[in-house]
Amino acid sequence: MPENLTVFIPTLLDGLPNTVAATAGGIVLTIVLAFGAGLALLSQRRPVRVVSRIYVEGFRGTSEVVQLFFLYFSLPLLIGLQLVPLWAGILVLGLNHGAYGAEIVRGAVQSVPRAQYEGAIALSLTPAQRMRRVILPQAVVEMIPPFNNLFIQLLKSTALLSLITLAELTWQAQEVLVPLYNEQAFTILLTVLVMYLLLSLAITGAMRLLEWRANQMLGRRPSARSRVDALASTTGGV
């Protein structure tokens, strides 16, 4: 079995760049949409809130697989636009997880104590300054544990991109190796699962670092309880 690993691992790793690219691209788009839609949910203007709410509920309420298939298979037939698998994947990952992220942002901003708003108003800061300099820095610290979970969700979702022919980790395992080495499916699939686990741990490590840094800038320590609460609240497919 160990000899086969020397064949399997390089082949699997051929899929790693796409997994990483999809994850990174997805995370970037998720963050952009999460903040955009999340803050829009808190807007004073009703139309803005409504549009954002439609986006959030629409993407949270439908299956990610359907969103993926629609974008990759239906859209070309509808409007003649064919995206390559990687971009289609990043788009769906971002749209889907951005919707969940919007709720995280909204919740965290709303959890900043009222007193902070009032202090900022008393100092005559503009609403934009208030948000940027006072509210968001404090909210961001609260967001990190739930976003950690969300990003791991996103990483797991990159496996779906194998269904639209992206040659990432799962594709390499399921479409390349298993057909050739059917009896070794156990080893192949277990190895790729371990690879995903390692990537998950890497994401968590990076987020912990970010949390530590963010708390440093605020002058306080992170709470273990916030991490546990975040685990219990955000979910698989939230």
- Give me the residues that bind other proteins (CB under 8 A), please: 57-58, 60-67, 69-70, 73-74, 77-80, 152, 156-160, 162-163, 170, 173-174, 178, 182-183, 185-186, 189-190, 192-193, 196-197, 200-201, 228-229, 231-233, 235-238
Residue 58 or 119 having the CB closest to other proteins: 58
Instruction: State the Cα–Cα distance between residues 104 and 33, nearest whole angstrom.
Output: 12
Q: Could you tell me the smallest distance in angstroms from the CB atom of residue 100 to other proteins?
A: 11
Residue 156 or 208 having the CB closest to other proteins: 156
Q: Could you tell me the smallest distance in angstroms from the CB atom of residue 101 to other proteins?
A: 16
Residue 131 or 192 having the CB closest to other proteins: 192
19 vs 101, 108, 124, CA distance in Å?
21, 29, 47
Give the burial string for 52-68 (b: 16+ CB within 10 Å, else e): beebbeebbeeebeebb
DSSP state of 134: I
Q: Could you tell me the smallest distance in angstroms from the CB atom of residue 104 to other proteins?
A: 15
46-61 vs 16-41: helix axis angle to the nearest 10? 140
Instruction: State the Cα–Cα distance between residues 182 and 175, nearest whole angstrom.
Output: 11
Q: Please enumerate in sequence order all residues whose Cβ is within 8 A of that of 22, keeping only pairs 6 or more positions apart, or say none.
A: 86, 89, 90, 93, 158, 161, 166, 168
Residue 47 or 236 having the CB closest to other proteins: 236
Instruction: State the Cα–Cα distance between residues 138 and 115, nearest whole angstrom.
Output: 12
Q: Could you tell me the smallest distance in angstroms from the CB atom of residue 220 to other proteins?
A: 24
Residue 15 or 25 having the CB closest to other proteins: 15
87 vs 14, 200, 220, CA distance in Å?
18, 22, 39
Residue 113 or 186 having the CB closest to other proteins: 186
Q: Could you tell me the smallest distance in angstroms from the CB atom of residue 187 to other proteins?
A: 10
Q: Could you tell me the smallest distance in angstroms from the CB atom of residue 236 to other proteins?
A: 5
